């Protein structure tokens, strides 16, 4: 069984504390990665789900990740916490 947790914004695997975002007090946030969430706020608060998909496709293509991994990450986005709530 896969026990990997994923960023609830971009779906990046959160394999360890070095990838976790931070709260205002500097403590680690285990739900979001450091690229999406810093100092208690989203790094790009106005980003839409569609814009996130575009960014991920561009980034993953640049990293030459296999199409099945890209597809799984993109398909997972709509179910993540950030995209479930109308309030950012």
pLDDT tens figures, 16-64: 999 999 999 999 999 999 999 999 999 999 999 999 999 988 888 888 8
pLDDT higher than 60, residue 87: no
Number of domains in the chain: 1
- Helix 67-77 with 49-62: angle, nearest 10 deg: 160
In a domain? residue 71? yes
In a domain? residue 51? yes
pLDDT higher than 90, residue 69: no
Q: Tens of pLDDT along 5-28? A: 999 999 999 999 999 999 999 999
Read off the pTM.
Answer: 0.84
Expressed as residue numbers, the domain containing 62 is 17-84
Q: Can you tell me the mean pLDDT for 70-86? A: 89
Which residue has tokens 């100092």? 39
């Amino acid at each position: 069984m896969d026990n990997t947790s994923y960023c609830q914004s971009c779906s990046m695997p959160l394999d360890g504390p070095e990838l976790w975002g931070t709260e205002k007090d500097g403590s680690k946030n285990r739900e979001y990665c450091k690229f999406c969430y810093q100092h208690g706020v989203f790094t790009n608060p106005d980003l839409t789900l569609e814009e996130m998909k575009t960014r991920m496709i561009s980034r993953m293509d640049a990293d030459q990740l296999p199409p099945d991994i890209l597809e799984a990450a993109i398909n997972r986005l709509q179910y993540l916490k950030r995209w479930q709530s109308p309030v950012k």
